[in-house]
Amino acid sequence: MSQAFTAIATLIARPGQQDALEHALRALIEPTRAEAGCSQYDLHQDLANPLAFYMIEHWASDEALQAHDASAHIQNFRARAGEFLEHFELKRLRALA
């Protein structure tokens, strides 16, 4: 099993779609926090750019994140994301100190 890690998802809304993206992201919080292996799943919005959202996540393992990616709520989000999502990027981070 892999080691625990933090991930930061960057999600940029299409112009004028930030409310729709925020609503869709908020809907992911409760079911994701209930998933095995998830110890943090917090939504943030950039103060300087309201189109930019960040999900700060902590996963017990790569397997836990893979199970999250395969979950029904994430699959439903992805099916609708083209309506409101301009850009997505996920960074996996290793804690150093």
- The candidate with the shortest Cα–Cα distance to 30, out of 12, 42, 17, is 42
pTM to 2 decimal places: 0.94
What pLDDT, in 10s, does the model give residues 21-60? 999 999 999 999 999 999 999 999 999 999 999 999 999 9
pLDDT for residue 68 is more than 70:
yes
Domain residues of the chain, as ranges? 5-93
pLDDT for residue 49? 97
What pLDDT, in 10s, does the model give residues 9-22? 999 999 999 999 99
From residue 2, alpha-carbon distances to 19, 53, 56, 89, 90 in Å are 36, 27, 19, 21, 18
pLDDT for residue 61? 96
Kindly report the CATH class assigned to 5-93. alpha beta
Average pLDDT over residues 55-68: 97
